[in-house]
Amino acid sequence: MTTLSSVPLGLTLNNQARRRLLWVLAIITLALALLPAPLLPPHRIAERIMAAAGSNWRPAYILAVVGIRAVFYGTLGVLAALGLGPAKTTRGRIVQILLVPLAVITLGLLIRSLKIGHLPVAAQLVVPTASCALGTWIGLAARYRRVQVTLVAVTALLGLTLWSLLGGVPSKVSSASAEQLHHLIAEASTLSGGDGRFAALVESAFAKARHDSAGGDAVLQNRAAILALGIALGHEKIAPLAGLGGDADLVRQASAARGNATLRGREDWPRHYLVSAAFTVLENPFISDSAMLVKEALDTLNGGSGFSFTDLAADKAGILFAEAATRDEPSARAMQERLQKGFDVEAFFPPVSDLPDGLSADQFQSQYGGVGGRGYRRVLQEIDRRLSQCSGLR
């Protein structure tokens, strides 16, 4: 037997253990390298969830997305844990519990960033990190037979993950959003359609936010304005997430205020813009950034309008708008002052009609390499360049 040598994880490894660990690392690295970015489930999985739960397509697909990521990263955690030799001390075991998931996720983050060309939103790491940690604990529990301790840790982890993903909004924001909806309903009755309707409602919502936040919380009022706009001009299904699901009449009247509002002449872009903005202020960035790609994937897989880089641009613009309006108190007040002078579309949404639109799944894959492909990254960089020139989004 070769002399044992110390390693940072509180282990001692002989040659056989080293080889086993290297094989495990190679398998994990290969799996991460082959992983699509983002990881989306096969169409049939979502169909079976939809049939079993009796739900419609989109909730089933989102559940499938979360499920497949949880299973994948949980499996990596188990594999990493079982690939380690046993720690000789309690301290070494604690180090394993903390560092093994961190090492796997860091490796995954590095590989994914190289593939897609940018870092993911931080909250997108909630499911992979939690699942990898859970898998690691299961693997270590199997090795050390510490079942009771593992169950306590798993329960705490699941509770934290559920809280992170479901989130919610404070009651003050819900109340302010309801007031904004009443305001927008009254305002919409005096407006004509087109781009002017969209601009006037955004201006009016932020004028009310400015008035209501005089000497108060501008961030809160801006969040309420964006949520109300998201319901009225985006989609009424945002209402339950904003704590307004119980007032069906108000939500129905607000959705009727949508009328034929347009953004740069398109009726679908106001919805993309403001739904993405609303998701951003729901204190759940996992939803906002992921929902863009999930929605576009749904369009290609479910016979919809196809993958649209123009829609993706509207999604990203809406997110940047919400971030600029709610980042902190000075930013919130600066947005109120800017919109008091009027909604200048050039400052908030660049021309994007020349970007690829309505691509079928085959076209998107062959011409742009799918999500994360070289062609996809090239167009995404162009979108980001145009958005960076919009002064209202900075």
Delimit the domains of the chain by residue range. 5-165, 171-393
Q: Among 70-79, 175-184, 275-284, name the one with the lowest average pLDDT.
A: 275-284
Position 139 scores a pLDDT of 79
Confidence class for position 13, pLDDT limits 50, 70, 90:
low
Q: For the whole model, what pTM was predicted?
A: 0.60
303-326 mean pLDDT: 86
What would the 3-class secondary structure string for the chain be? Answer: CCCCEEECCCEEECHHHHHHHHHHHHHHHHHHHHCCCCCCCCHHHHHHHHHHHCCCHHHHHHHHHHHHHHHHHHHHHHHHHHHCCCCCCHHHHHHHHHHHHHHHHHHHHHHHHHHHCCCCCHHHHHHHHHHHHHHHHHHHHHHHCCHHHHHHHHHHHHHHHHHHHHCCCCHHHHHHHHHHHHHHHHHHCCCCCEHHHHHHHHHHHHHHHHHHCCCCCHHHHHHHHHHHHHHHHHCCCHHHHCCCCCCHHHHHHHHHCCCCECECCECCHHHHHHHHHHHHCCCCHHHHHHHHHHHHHHHHHCCCCCECHHHHHHHHHHHHHHHHHHCCHHHHHHHHHHHHCCCCHHHHCCCCCCCCCCECHHHHHHHHCCCCCHHHHHHHHHHHHHHHCCHHHC
Confidence class for position 12, pLDDT limits 50, 70, 90:
low
Position 30 scores a pLDDT of 83
341-354 mean pLDDT: 95
In tens, the pLDDT along 188-222 reads: 988 998 999 999 999 999 999 999 999 888 989 99
Between residues 381 and 257, the one the model is more confident about: 381
